[in-house]
Structure formats: structure tokens, C-alpha cells
Structure 1
Amino acid sequence: MSVTIKDVASEAKVATSTVSRVLANSPKISAETAKRVRKAIADLNYHPNHTARSLASQLTKTIGLVMPSSAHVSFQNPFFPEVIRGISTEAHKKNYGLYLTTSQTDEEVFEEVQRMVQEKRVDAIILLFSLENDRLVHYLLEQDFPFVLLGRPAVTNPKDVWYVNNDNVRTGRLATEYLTLLKHERIGLILNRSDAVVSQDRTYGYKEALAQMNLPVRDDYLAYYTDQHTGSQDAFISVMSVPEPPTAIIAEDMVIFGILRTVQELGLRVPDDLSLVAFNNYMISELASPPVTSIDIQIFELGTQAMKLLFKQLEDSTSSPEQVIVPHQLIRRQSCSRWQK
């Protein structure tokens, strides 16, 4: 049987809290007591675990960042490194570290979050995505564990959740309205995961804008994908294979970049034959050929605001949940033109 902190306390004839304070190098413990405890640790060959090292302060000074499943794929999406850069900038100001999930399925993500909470590996959690019927949000609410959600929570009362978001209904509407002003009537929409709340909100805004212009919502112009590489390309080909293909496409920057590599094979020119509008405004949009019109959602700011909200919770556990909506902006470039055919 492994040696526990209680065994060390008994050997040194002190309380377990005293042992934990010695492990944390607390100045409140006298030199004589600390020496006795450290001797007991050496004699018993005790190796403290992560939880034991943080017992004195009850803080790990670590924030858990929960990535979507297939975290290695997520890091190929510029959104996550940029939002984590915003989070880490704020975390560094108060000497907090970050603990990232690395799970490959939704079930593994849930199990890893359970371990974070139950084993007290982190002081709080930031969920970097929001899904429909997401067990993670309900679990963290039930556990009364501090967390901030990046995105709109799909719960009965969103005001119960601390979250940071863009108005993604408006971003979906804005992208569509801009294209209708350019006289496009056949507009396709390609988004990641139909159960992602951000995709649902952008789809809603897209449909709103079409309805406002008395344009039909065509299911064959809507496509969702799960795999960033093959799935998004398949979605684009599917949308463009209908008898009357779209004259404009709205999608995330990385999908648009893939489209730009595919259009030449289809004998299309951007923007003469096909206009493109992107979400997120990654640097790749500005560097693409042609440069892509994109909606800047201020990814870095999403991260900084999420960390600021989390610190509010940690510093005052009685404070009421707050929500922050980060503004967006349409950045017009050369991937769109007026439809004249």
C-alpha cells in the first residue's frame, strides 16, 4: 500500500494540513516543524500527488482548457491557438498555468473533465466550444465548479452560465446581407458540426437574411462537416454539384482557403464566378489570393474576456454570472463582386 499524507502526519506527529503546508513551502510553519515533517517524508519515501501539493491553499493555480474532441485536429484550426493566446496573456498576469485536454472523442473529453473536477487538478475550467445538449455544461453546473463557456450555452436559462460570445446570429445575417446587396440570390453556407451552437446561430442568421430578401432557403445549399480537411472539401463539392449551384459561399476561413485551391479545378474564378465570405478573419484570409472578405470576431479578445470572467468567479464565489458579447466587424477584401450574370 502506498504511503499517504496521513502516514506522514502521524510519523511527524502533526496535522495533515501542516504536512501540506510544508509541501507548499509555507512560511507559517516553523523551521523545526518543517524539518520534522521533511524527515518523515524521507523516512517513509512519500511522494505527494498533484492534489496533495495544493492542499494548503486549496488552489492549484491552474486553469483547465477543454478542447473539442480530436484536439490534435483542433490545433490545426487557427482559432484555438489564438484564443488560447488571449487566455494565457491574462492567466500569466496572475501566475496561473494552463491544463489542456487531449481527448479524441466527446466521451473521452467528458471523462477527462470529470477527472479535472474530482481530482482537483484545476481551480476552474474554460470550455472552448459549445454544443447542443452538452453534458459538460450540465455537469459543471451540478458540481458548482467555476467555469466559463466560450459560446452561447444551450441551456434553459443562459443567464445561469458565465460565458463569452459573439452575436453569431448577427454574423450569419451580416455575411448573407452583404452578398444580397451584391445581387447574389443563390448563396451557399458551409459550417462545422451541425450540433455546434455557433453553427446553429450562424445558420439562423443566414436564414433570417434570406427571408428578409424573400429568397428561398435551399437545403442543398447548406452543408455541415466534421473533418476539417476532407469533410469541408466534400461539403463544398456537394453544394456546387446541384443543377443551379450557388454564386456565393459563406464558410470559415480555413474552408474558404480550401475552396480557393479547388475552384480552379472546377473552372471557376473568384470573384467573377463565385464570391466568398469567411468567418473569423484569420491572417490566412488577408494573405490568400485573392484576399478574402471576412468577419473579424476578435478571437484574441474572446480569450482575454473569458479569463477575466473566470478570475471574477475565483475572487468572489458569490458573484452572479456575467455574459460578455465581443463585437464583430466585416472586413471587405477582393473575394466578392456584384453578380451580373
Structure 2
Amino acid sequence: MSVTIKDVAKKAGVSPSTVSRVLSNHPRISHATSEKVKAIMLEMGYHPNIMAKSLVSKTTHSLGVILPKPAEELFLNTFFMELIRGIVAQANRSGYDVVLSSGSSEQEEVEAVSRLVYGGRIDGAILLYSRKNDPVVDFLSRNHFPAVLVGRSEQHKNIISVDTDNVQAAADATRHLIQMGHQRIGFVSGPPELVVSLDRMEGFKMALNEANLEFHKDWIVEGEFLQESGYRAMSFFMNLPERPTALVVVDDIVSFGILRGLHELGYKVPEDIAIVSFNNIALSELSTPPLSSVDIGIYHLGYTASQALIQAIQEKDPDKLVHQRHIVPHRLILRQSSMFAPSRN
């Protein structure tokens, strides 16, 4: 015979409604009562009927995380793993599960998201990227579906977003290289359709302009957030008749590719070329040399995105959430890769 809520309530000495509130993580239930009831559930082998609960409450207690590309390529960059770790930590703390979804094209992404939304499988969605003219954001906005964007949307100002001030962060990185005496500074960017690439490029240009330094289009390379993109960028720069003495690189993983290529050719960092990167992943301080990198609080970005989405799902007045933009602070972590003044420029 299966265990019921009434059985759990009787053994815990509480009402069945209290057990229901524990299951839904009701804020008015004390931590002590919640822990006591959960322990008795475990002891008695009680498992709530999630499907029946969803039909009654019209909620699934599941968040959809929309990945920007096929998972096998995505997880080559630890940025996304750390971001998802933050999302899952807050979701689990609030009693929500996380559903991952991806597609190999924009059309496949829209189809995957529509299946989750129309199938009633999630209560809200988190997008791990921000693109220009994003059809997934268009779909979620048209359907007034709770969503949070990690990044900034150029078209949809009413979507909730969690972001770094990427313009300021890139300007800070560039200013550091200028202060070290560099006048020929290149930029290794991400895909041009991503807003983060545009914002970091803007901050880079802003810092050059402040210092009255010329912006050279020949010293700009665009690519994916992969090591191979950095490796190819390094080959390009080293073959220029006049190359930069320093680089601002959009991502630590890309910087690892640059370091590998420079090492193979016998160049030294920072003596031959200085590097400042972004994300400050754990491996950045273990590279040779250790990377100067802008810490954007990846885990905190994910945690805050999850927190903001759950708030949006539970908010009875959606108008209160319009134009919400959460900015996670950044800081420049200086290491050996940029701590060298050029002998000539």
C-alpha cells in the first residue's frame, strides 16, 4: 500500500496542508518543520505525484536552460559549465529542476523551445547568450513566457537580463595595457552576431580613443569561443608586417590557443606580446604564464539568472518585472601575461 500525504502528516504531527506547503517550498514553513517533514517522507518512502501536482497547479517546477549550440561543442568551454553550475545551485535550493535544450541551428533552437513551452514542460526559460535579431527571444516575448537572458538584448528591452557591464570591462582591460606602455593593441573577438562581442569591442575602442591611440582594423580577429580560434588568430597576428605588442582576448579558452601557438613559434608572453583575457576561469592562473583576466563572476551570473527567473515565475504582477537588468560586478585580475612594459612601440 502506497504512503499518502495524510500518512506523512500523521507521523510528523502536522496537518496535510503543512506537508503540501513543504513540498512546494512555501516561505512560511520554518526550516525546522521542513527538515522534519522531509526526513519522515524519506523514512516512509513517500514520493509526491509530480505529474498530478502539475496538472492541478499548472506548474512543473522545472526551468529550461537554452544552450547556444550543440552540447558537445558547448562544453569545450568551461564558462558554460560554471554558468550552469550557478543556475542549478539556485534552482535546486528553490525546489526547481533544470531541463537543458539545444539545437544545431537557430531554427532547431526555436523548435526545441516551442516543444518545451507548448508541451508545458517548463515554467520559464534561461538563455545563456544574447544575439542580434534572436528568434528564440522573439518567440518567448510573443508568448509572454517567463524568461531571463544572460547578456543584453538589443531588440527586446522588456526581457529580464543578467549581465556584466562588458563595455566597461573591456575598457578596463585595454586601459591596463595602455598603462603598461602598449600603443599597438589588437583585439580577438567572438562571433560578430553576439552582443557580448559587440559590447567588448565598444569598450576596447573607447579606451583607445581616450588615449588617442589609433584603431587598426588589421589588428581585429573574430572567431568562436574555442582554443582553435585563438590558435588561428595568433598565426594571423604573427604574420603581419607590423603586429600588435598586446592583445585583449574575448575569452580565456581562446587565450589558451594563442599561448599554445606562441609557444610553438618560440615567442614569449608577455615579453613579445602581452595578453589580457576574460572570464577568469580556474585554469587561467595555471596556464604558462598565468593569464591576466577579467573576472565576470560566472557562477554568480548563473545563480542570479536562476533567482530572477523564479521570481518572475512566482510574481503575480508581471508589470513589476519589466526592464529588470541585473548587473554582476567585474574585476580585473592581474597576472604575469600582461605585467611587462614593451621596450619599443
Tell whether the structures are fold-level matches, with TM greater than 0.5: yes
Partner of 1:316: 315
User: Which residue number corresponds to residue 269 of structure 1?
Assistant: 268
Tell me which amino acid in the other structure corresponds to 1:146: P
CA distance 1:308–1:112, shift in 2 (3 Å): same
Provide the residue aligned with 2:222 in structure 1.
224
- Per the alignment, residue 190 of structure 2 pairs with 192
Q: TM-score, normalised by structure 2?
A: 0.81
Aligned residue for 1:335, secondary structure, equals: helix
Which residue number corresponds to residue 294 of structure 1?
293
Instruction: Find the aligned partners of 1:190 and 1:238 in 2 and give their Cα distance.
Output: 11
Confirm or deny: 8 A CA contact 2:106 2:135 kept in the other structure. no
Amino acid at match of 1:303: G
2:172 to 153, 165, 174: 174
- The amino acid across from 2:260 in the alignment is R
Supply the distance in 1 between the matched residues of 2:235 and 2:106 (Cα, whole angstroms).
28
The amino acid across from 2:290 in the alignment is P
Distance 2:80 2:63 in 1: 16
Deviation at 1:205?
Answer: 0.5
1:152-198 deviation digits (Å, cap 9, x = unpaired): 1121x52x111100000011111111101111111111122111100
Deviation at residue 299 of structure 1 after TM alignment: 0.4
1:66 — aligned with what?
66
Q: Provide the rounded CA distance (Å) in 1 between the counterparts of 2:128 and 2:150.
A: 5
Q: Secondary structure at the match of 2:263?
A: coil
Equivalent-residue separation in structure 2 for 1:227 and 1:271 (angstroms): 22
Report the CA distance between 1:106 and its aligned residue. 2.2
**Superposed displacement of residue 245, structure 1:** 0.7
**Structure 2 stretches of 5 or more lacking a match?**
1-15, 18-49
Q: Which residue of 1 aligns with 2:343?
A: 340
Is 1:294–1:331's contact at 8 Å kept on the other side of the alignment? yes
8 Å CA contact retained: 1:71, 1:104: no
Q: Which moved more, 1:166-175 or 1:228-237?
A: 228-237
Q: Is the 8 A contact 2:228 2:257 kept in 1?
A: no
Amino acid at match of 2:310: F
The equivalent residue for 1:285 is: 284
| Equivalent residue, structure 2, for 1:326 | 328
Equivalent-residue separation in structure 2 for 1:148 and 1:59 (angstroms): 18
Distance 2:316 2:247 in 1: 45
- How far 1:227 moved relative to its partner? 6.5
8 Å Cα contact 1:134-1:154 kept in structure 2: no
Letter in structure 1 aligned against 2:122: V
Aligned-pair distance for 1:230?
A: 3.0
**Contact 2:233–2:258 (CA<8 Å) still a contact in 1?**
no
Deviations 1:7-39 (A, max 9, x none): xxxxxxxxxxxxxxxxxxxx79xxxxxxxxxxx
Amino acid at match of 2:321: S
Distance change (3 Å), C-alpha of 1:161 and 1:227: closer
Identity of aligned residues (%): 38
Q: In the TM superposition, what is the alpha-carbon distance from 1:67 to its structure 2 partner?
A: 0.7
Distance 1:141 1:51, change over 3 A: farther
Residue aligning to 2:37 = none
Distance in 1 between residues matched to 2:330 and 2:64, nearest whole Å: 27
Q: Deviations over 1:84-105 (max 9, x none)?
A: 1111111111211110013222
Q: 1:284, CA displacement in angstroms?
A: 1.0
After TM superposition, list the pairs within 5 Å mapping 1:1-341 onto structure 2.
54-155=54-155, 158=157, 160-226=158-224, 228-251=226-249, 252-318=251-317, 319-321=320-322, 322-336=324-338, 337-341=340-344
Query: Matches of 1:141 and 1:129 in 2, distance apart?
Result: 16
Could you list the per-position Cα deviations for residues 31-73 of structure 1 after superposition, in whole angstroms to 9, with x for gaps in the alignment? xxxxxxxxxxxxxxxxxxx988732221111100001122221
**Superposition CA RMSD, Å:** 1.7
Give SS of 2:264's match.
coil
